[in-house]
Structure 1
Amino acid sequence: MDSEAEAVREAIAGELRLMDPGVRRSPSLVRQLLDPDFVEVGASGRRWTYEEMLAELPGVAGSVEDGPVYEPSAMIGVMLAPGLVHLTYETTIGGSRARRSSLWCRRGEGAAWRMYYHQATPAAA
């Protein structure tokens, strides 16, 4: 069974991988990190489903080779229940700042941690 600290570390590692442009351009790598029931409400207010994210992520900000990348800060996490971790942090990319919140779940012992929900809210620079 994961300790809370280990679960939070694994969720943070997954979150940081999802900000890596090389990972973002690879639907097969993203598929390993997103739960099939994934939903996101982006900083634009758009609601993204799992399939939409897999299809469009390679071409959006933070994914483009030699383009701006996400710079995370103040990332913290807490285990809300066994198999459920909540992360909060801030990002900057291309001069835009956002506050972010993610839920990571692990469906069964030995299963991978995957992002279940993500919310981004624009923040003043």
Structure 2
Amino acid sequence: MEDATDDVNQAIAGELQLMDPHVRASRHRAAQLLDPEFVEVGGSGRRWTYEAMLAELPEHPGSSVDGVRYEPSEISGVRLAPGLVHLTFETTLGERRTRHSSIWRLRDRATGWRMYYHQATRVPLGVD
């Protein structure tokens, strides 16, 4: 039986890689971490698809090695089923704080864990 903790740790590792400016700036590296059926509902409310995200990610905040970087906190996860992990966490990017929820899935060991769904919600100033 696969270890649930190991699955969660692998999903967390993938999530942290997606916050790395070098990965965000590389379509090839980001594509290895996003599921082909990826969907995101961003903090702005915009719906992103796999192709749209890969096309625009290098221009997003947090994608420049010389700019502000994502600072994650309170990252935790749970295995929902074999090959399916749900993560929750917060990030700060400069002055902006955001809460996140993502689902990672493992289709096969050859391609590894990939982000299937992501939801971001901006936290207004003064909200705990």
Question: Cα offset for 1:109?
Answer: 4.6
Write out the 4+ residue segments of structure 1 that deviate beyond 6 Å after TM superposition: none
Q: Distance in 2 between matches of 1:26 and 1:108?
A: 23
Secondary structure of the 1:44 match is coil
Is 2:34 aligned against 1:31? no
SS at the partner of 2:108? coil
Residue 2 (structure 1) shift: 2.9
Deviations 1:37-74 (A, max 9, x none): 00001111111100001100001100023111100000
State percent identity of aligned pairs: 62
Map of 2:107 onto structure 1: 107
One-letter identity of the residue aligned with 1:36: P
State the aligned residue count. Answer: 125
Q: CA deviation at 1:94?
A: 1.4
SS of equivalent residue, structure 1 residue 53: helix
SS at match of 1:2: coil
Matches of 1:24 and 1:119 in 2, distance apart? 17
Who is 1:54 aligned against? 54
Instruction: Please report the TM-score for the alignment, with normalisation by the length of structure 1.
Output: 0.96
Partner of 2:123: 123
| Matched letter for residue 53 of structure 2 | M
Equivalent residue for 1:75?
75
Report deviation, 1:110. Answer: 4.9
How far apart, CA to CA, are the structure 2 residues paired with 1:104 and 1:51? 18
User: Equivalent residue for 2:93?
Assistant: 93
Secondary structure, counterpart of 2:7 in structure 1? helix
* 5+ residue gaps, structure 1: none
Q: 1: CA distance between counterparts of 2:2 and 2:35?
A: 19
Supply the RMSD in Å over aligned alpha carbons: 1.1
Unaligned runs of 5+ in 2: none
- Distance between the aligned counterparts of 1:87 and 1:65, measured in 2? 25
Name the residue aligned to 1:7.
Answer: 7
